[in-house]
């Protein structure tokens, strides 16, 4: 598993671990630059308790994503402010 970063310098491992441990607070989205997605997870976690489940799933998806997919999606370009991990871009 490579932690080499290019472009924006975001690490797949860091994003995945943040998603698993603090995903309910949207920390992995703030790290990756999807601010609105992070806010939605934060509010949904506080109000409905669903943010933690979504964050856990997204953290796992980030870790199983290939390095090439991660670099294309998060390092080669700035992600949209309303972009979730499970969306195809």
Please spell the DSSP secondary structure of 37-51, one letter per residue: HHHHHHHHHHHTS-H
Q: What is the pLDDT of residue 38?
A: 92
Q: What is the pLDDT of residue 4?
A: 52
Q: What is the pLDDT of residue 47?
A: 86
Residues 6-17 pLDDT 10s? 578 899 999 999
d(CA 54, CA 35): 16
- Read off the pLDDT of each residue in 77-86 and give the average, rounded to a whole number: 84
Residue 1: how many other CB atoms lie within 10 Å: 7
Kindly list the domain boundaries of the chain, sorted by start residue: 12-75
Residues 44-77 pLDDT 10s? 888 888 888 999 999 999 999 999 999 999 998 8
């Amino acid at each position: 598993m490579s932690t080499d970063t290019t472009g924006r310098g975001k690490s797949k491992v860091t994003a995945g671990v943040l998603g698993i441990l603090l995903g309910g607070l949207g920390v992995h989205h703030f790290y990756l630059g999807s601010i609105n997605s992070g806010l939605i997870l934060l509010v949904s976690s506080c109000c409905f308790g669903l943010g933690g489940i979504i964050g856990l799933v997204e953290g796992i998806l980030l870790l199983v994503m290939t390095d090439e997919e991660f670099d294309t999606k998060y390092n080669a370009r700035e992600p949209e402010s309303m972009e979730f991990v499970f969306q195809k871009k």
